Amino acid sequence: MLFDARAAKQLKPGEHLVVEGCDGLRLVASASKVTWTYRYKQPGTGLMKQTRIGSYPGMRPSEAAEAVERLRALRAEGVDPKAFQRQQRQPAKAALAPAEIFTVRALVADYLANHIDREREEAGAIAARRALERLLKQEPAFAETPAAAVTRSACFDLLEARKATPTATQKLRSMLGAAWARALDAGRIDQDVPNWWPTLMKGKLKSKGKIVGGEHQGQQRRVLRDEEVGQLLAWLTNLHDLGRDTLQMYLWTCTRGAEILAMRPAHIAEEKDGWWWTVPKEATKNARFENAVDLRVPLVGRALKIVQRRLAAVGKSGLLFEDARGEQYTQHDFSTYIYGLQPYSSKVARRTGDGLVLPVTNWTPHNLRRTSRTMLAALGCPKEIGEAVLGHLPPAIEGTYNAHSYDKERRLWLTKLAKHLESLAHHAGAPARP
């Protein structure tokens, strides 16, 4: 068995290390820990599965290899290693002890502790816990009901009472369905107990769109027209520095706000063909996909000027985009800021003076990314290059056989986009500098 301790130490969140000479043994890094795992094909189904063995460096490589050998022997006998481990973790129960009632509250607690807290990133885990604990507080009778005795009618009534917030209710239904599925898999409730959640109100929990001025706006995929983009660029001087730079980075790079605002000096490099910003895979939306790679973004025009200026003034956070407190300026911060400048925002009514209301309304920051992608298409950019610029993964078959990076093409088309944006700014009378 060959184990590279140096490579293990350099693992970044979302990356893994395959241990040569020990089939199925991997070292997987998350944001908070590094874990030994065994990857195998499930007996009977042939599906790829993965189960945890222990934490590194607490468990030595030799110990992990021995654990894998034991699990591999079980698999050879037709036993699913993950199911076996789960069974082993169940506390032994005295044969004559009265069975503890497994309530909905206990079921949710088990799901939070053994799935949500382990599998989700910190922010997602906090949001999920908050939603489920709020439900138990709002529905005390439901929380104390034995999980095996929950009826379809009770499940339906619970969702029906929350259909005014369809998106949140969809997520709640999904989590409850997953919690019941886990309880069934773990044998905490009898296998004959139905899991009602996945089929309830299917297709009936649809969002009516965001609410503006007390009214639903419907499902909108807003794309700003060229003249509207010109108006925004001419109005940039009314924004604060962070807002102005963030808005332009959206338009000039076609990237997501979370990617822009997590930028660090280490992500920026000058290469033979110009400046590049490399977004680490774990900082992209594709982090959960094994075949995803870092996102390469050529910096041209105003994007390059903004990055170079911010590189020279990096503060204590180590990020290029930080607020006055020295903390990260987040996507939520920027979205809230833009919303507060819309004429329908309650903040506008409390302001006095000119230049405090956006000249282009009813748009969100993500619409800027959609707008720039649409501009690329209008300029003649081929679809596969436009999708590469966005950082979208190619379809499965194409992704398997096409390993071209499109670096040259990204630079070509973002340069064309930058020239087009500058022409819109010029015609609108916008200042030349970012």
pLDDT at 217: 53
Q: What is the mean pLDDT of the chain?
A: 86
Give the DSSP H or E segment for 48.
strand 48-56
Place of tokens 């970044």: 12
Percent of the chain with pLDDT over 70: 88
Amino acid at 352: T
In the chain the first and final C-alpha atoms are separated, in Å, by 55
C-alpha 265 chain-centroid distance: 22
Whether pLDDT at 404 is above 60: yes
0.75 surpassed by pTM: no
Q: Which of 49-53, 214-218, 362-366 has the lowest mean pLDDT?
A: 214-218
Q: 240: which 2 tokens? A: 């604060």
The pair of three-digit structure tokens given for residue 78, joined into one six-digit string: 């037709």
Residue 82's Cα: distance from chain center in Å? Answer: 26
Q: What is the pLDDT of residues 176-191, one digit of tens each?
A: 999 999 999 988 898 8
Q: What is the pLDDT of residue 40?
A: 85
Query: At 92, is the pLDDT very low, low, confident or very high (cuts 50, 70, 90)?
Result: very low
pLDDT in tens, 96-148: 334 468 999 999 999 999 999 988 878 788 989 999 999 999 999 999 999 99
What one-character-per-residue DSSP string does 57-103 give? TTS-HHHHHHHHHHHHHHHHTT--HHHHHHHHHSPP--TTSPPPP-B
Span 208-227, average pLDDT: 68
Q: Per-residue pLDDT for 304 more than 90?
A: yes
- Are 60 and 75 spatial neighbours (Cβ–Cβ below 8 Å)? no
Write phi, then psi, for 259 (nearest 5 degrees): -75, -45
CA 390 vs. chain centroid, Å, equals: 15
Strand 274-279 to 295-298 pairing: antiparallel
